[in-house]
Structure 1
Amino acid sequence: MPKGKGAKGTKLTLKIAKKAIRMTPDGRRRLTLSNMGITIFPKCLLKLTNVDELDLSRNLIQKLPDNIGNFASLRWLDLHSNKLESLPESIGNLVGLTYLNLSNNRLISAGLPSTLGLLTSLKSLNLGMNQLDTLPSTMMALDSLQELGLFDNLFISLPEFLKVLRNLTKLNITRNPLSYVQGDVEGMQQGKSKSEEDGYLVHESSLCRTCLKRCKEQRERPTRGGGGGGGEGGGDRFEEKRIRTYQGLMAPNSVAIVSQDVWRVRKVEHKLIK
């Protein structure tokens, strides 16, 4: 597929992009260019200074332009399901962002700039389904952050600064090789009782093909836990038990085709087994 062209070979021009802008119910200008086979971030988009929301999800973008920070009007940015390995320093200039979805990419910890800590307006940040094992310590400045997705990564331990994010109420850390005990996450999930965690469900028809396959594989795995001591020295393990199920629904919701504004919540009980 030629670079800069969509799935049908259509070259993305400024004129085409302008025609694709739609008004959201709350009066924001949203540009949706999802699932178009885009391989290079279209620099012509940076001229759309009146766009508030940009959806470039489910494309093949490997790199963001160094001047992405010039897109100062953005309040909402969805880049899930691309091929990003790193973010440019200038992303910290998008100080108006309240929503940023970077899930299902190829991000590594070394590719996350310290300037992420400048996005102090962020309320929702999704970093799930990447290759992260640490986060920049500067992110402790994200006082407005309410929702953080870290699921399906490589975290052995969680960043200490998560405990001081006073507005953080939803933290998804499932499917990480964590070596913590249950008490380590107390205080990180405000509004939850001990041993509870929120998860988000969508209908399987709303997931892209790759993530639908991944979710089905995860669902078919046997429940963790059971049995006795484990390896030498025992160690703490967690048995995951679903309290409630919804037919046709599965997690994660990070790559839903439809808007993620409407999330269905399930409770997951973690029982400590020694």
Structure 2
Amino acid sequence: MAKGKKARQPKGKKITLKMAKSCLQLTLDGKRRLDLSKKEITAVPKCILQLCDVDELDLSRNLIKKLPDFIDRFANLHLLDLHSNQLEQLPQTIGRLQNLLTLNLSHNRLTAASLPSELGLLGKLQNLNLGLNQLETLPASIGALRELRHVGLFDNRLTRYPACLQRLKSLERVNLDGNPILTEQPADLDPIRRVETLHLVKESSLCADCVSKFQTERRRLEEMAKAEPVKSKLLLAGLIPPRSDDQETWR
């Protein structure tokens, strides 16, 4: 690059109100969605303020570096998708989106300093995706999101499990893959609620190795039952097939 010349910045595509209106959609569940994804825009067009009554706003896969302050005018938003942009900061006004259920900020350039404490005001938020950013920690205010259930934090710079997530009783899953976690996460802080489930399948659906293991285990239990008649019913309770008239339920 010649001395004294600045690097050329992407110019971006201009979106008019007419173009924006053509991007309005109606989802299967009756929500009004404004889809401005993959439009090569570098800034959120101000003309869309005239469409601020939409339920969903998709600005993903663009070149946006900053979310404008007027985002709070979209008071009805249930979903705001900004993934795969170049976001470096969020405005404090984002905390006024009181109906927001899903916020996707993945694959941007956000740091802990980029996230305003006002995120903690999104009282109805259930899904928050912050994966593929540059986060080393999270704002403590996120611990106030009592309805939060799913959090994406994959491929960031976190070295420990964020303490603010420990306060979230509704949390079901946290994706921390791809982070340089230094300390092992305590078992009682595991955000993924694991539930053991018993599945009943036909013997014909099992591989030969599984069938062999099953038959070996059954023989072992039968031998134990012969040696201890009193315990036989308890040991074989899970292996005795149902009545012939109840085979369909068993399957």
Does TM, normalized by the shorter one, top 0.5? yes
> Whole-Å Cα distance in 2 between the matches of residues 61 and 120 of structure 1?
26
- The corresponding residue for 1:259 is none
Contact 1:122 1:144 in 2 (8 A): yes
Letter in 2 for 1:192: R
Contact 1:168 1:188 in 2 (8 A): no
> Whole-Å Cα distance in 2 between the matches of residues 141 and 61 of structure 1?
28
Match of 1:127 among 113, 127, 130: 130
Alignment pair present for 1:41 and 2:44? yes
Partner SS state of residue 69, structure 2: coil
Alignment pair present for 1:50 and 2:49? no
Larger Rg: 2
Change in Cα spacing, 1:190 to 1:175, as seen in structure 2 (3 Å) is closer
Alignment pair present for 1:191 and 2:201? no
Mapping of 1:11-50 within 5 angstroms?
Answer: 11-50=14-53
- The corresponding residue for 2:222 is none
TM-score, length of structure 2 as denominator length: 0.71
The CA deviation at 1:67 is 2.0
- The corresponding residue for 2:245 is none
Letter in 1 for 2:189: G
Mapping of 1:70-219 within 5 angstroms?
Answer: 70-182=73-185, 184=186, 186-192=188-194
> Whole-Å Cα distance in 1 between the matches of residues 50 and 144 of structure 2?
30
Change in Cα spacing, 1:185 to 1:16, as seen in structure 2 (3 Å) is farther
> Whole-Å Cα distance in 2 between the matches of residues 185 and 81 of structure 1?
33
Bigger strand share: 1
> Whole-Å Cα distance in 2 between the matches of residues 155 and 103 of structure 1?
15
Identity of aligned residues (%): 53
Letter in 1 for 2:162: P
Contact 1:162 1:188 in 2 (8 A): no
Letter in 2 for 1:48: L
- The corresponding residue for 1:216 is none
Contact 2:42 2:64 in 1 (8 A): yes
TM-score, length of structure 1 as denominator length: 0.65
The CA deviation at 1:38 is 0.7
Change in Cα spacing, 1:93 to 1:185, as seen in structure 2 (3 Å) is farther
> Whole-Å Cα distance in 2 between the matches of residues 188 and 46 of structure 1?
41
Letter in 2 for 1:189: P
> Whole-Å Cα distance in 2 between the matches of residues 193 and 171 of structure 1?
16
Contact 2:143 2:166 in 1 (8 A): no
Bigger helix share: 2
What stretches of structure 1 of length at least 5 have no aligned partner?
A: 6-10, 195-274
Compare relative contact order (CA 8 Å, sep 6+) and give the higher one, 1 or 2. Answer: 1
- The corresponding residue for 1:265 is none
> Whole-Å Cα distance in 2 between the matches of residues 110 and 60 of structure 1?
20
